[in-house]
Amino acid sequence: MRSTLARWHAEDRRSFICLSGHWVHVLDIYRQQRPDVELLVDLLHLDADDSPSWKQVRKLVPNYEAPYRVVQLYDVGAMQINYRVNTSTVPALPFDKRNRRLVVHGGGWGIGTYRDRVAELESAGFALDMVSYGPQVPDPDATSRRRYFSEDPFWRPWHLETGGDCGFPPPGILSTGLDETRISVQSGSHGLYELIRSASAIVSKPGAGTLIDSLGSCTPLVMLEPFGAHEEANANVWSAQGFGISYRDWAAAGYANSILETMHSRLMERKERIAEYVSTLIEDMQEVAQ
């Protein structure tokens, strides 16, 4: 923490986007060290209800948000989306240009019931692109259309790319019953985005990053069981917007492709109506600077 604070001082950092309650303590220390400057800090909540990190910081500092600006991506009371976060500058693909594949994963932590649905989804005729969270993966037989992808295990978010920019983890294919392929990583997006952009749907628990990917790529979300009240709130917002459906309901409807296409159409229609968070933040900062 000391080295981080020293770097912020040296670079005269005054604007921050905080995605986790765990960082509020660090920001408080930095604010106390720099009483002579005005800091612009957005506490950006990526879930429709407080995630565990925000709940924990409130236990310790009940009014933690007082010196800062709280930004909610979603309004769970109104079941609305306040802001979207761009995941790529590459346009979303029309549904008829997508493959009949599903991206199946367990979010950033690799948890949930996604592995339990593999046989059902393949029996329904879908090919699967699965995210692996370790070096060992099942080896599909030669006729399988299942592929496993994993991020580069040596990638670290604090390692800067050439030019000094932060980068995204590149994906690699681990095992497949098909001829081995590599996916092309689009500039300015994470490695799995191109898979998601080309897929018919994402099958996953309704985590914060998954919702961002779904809206950014206009890819429908088939929602597995949520983990925690914050993910349950996410699921409620996505269902209300017509961007997602519970796995149970989709299975009961016979895994209909038409349902996915309808949700994709809603995403395509409504995405551009939703304010983009970073663009809005830049406008706000420019007004303050004037």
45 pLDDT exceeds 90? yes
Say what the pLDDT of residue 134 is: 64
Residues in the chain: 290
How many helices, marked H, and strands, marked E, lie in the chain? Answer: 10, 14
Torsion-angle region of 213 (φ positive above 0: left; ψ -120 to 50: alpha; else: beta): alpha
The predicted pLDDT at position 171 comes to 59
pLDDT, tens digit (0-9, with 9 covering 90-100), for 56-106: 999 999 999 999 999 999 999 999 999 999 878 888 999 999 998 999 998
In angstroms, the first-to-last Cα distance of the chain is: 33
pLDDT digits (tens, 9 = 90+) for 153-209: 666 667 776 766 766 666 555 545 444 444 444 445 566 888 899 999 999 999 999
Residues 6+ apart with CB under 8 A from 230: 47, 48, 49, 50, 51, 52, 208
The answer to whether 217 and 87 are in contact (CB under 8 A) is: yes
Q: Are 108 and 212 in contact (CB under 8 A)?
A: no
Strand, coil or helix: what is 27? helix
Q: Residue 56: what pLDDT?
A: 96
pTM of the model: 0.87
The span from the CA of 24 to the CA of 50, in Å, is: 14
Banded pLDDT at 115 (limits 50, 70, 90): confident
Encoded tokens for 182: 């590599």
Which of 52, 47, 44, 86 shows the shortest CA–CA distance to 69? 44
Least confident of 112-116, 131-135, 209-213: 131-135
**pLDDT over threshold 90, residue 249:** yes
Residue 117 three-state SS = helix
Residue with tokens 């309808």: 262
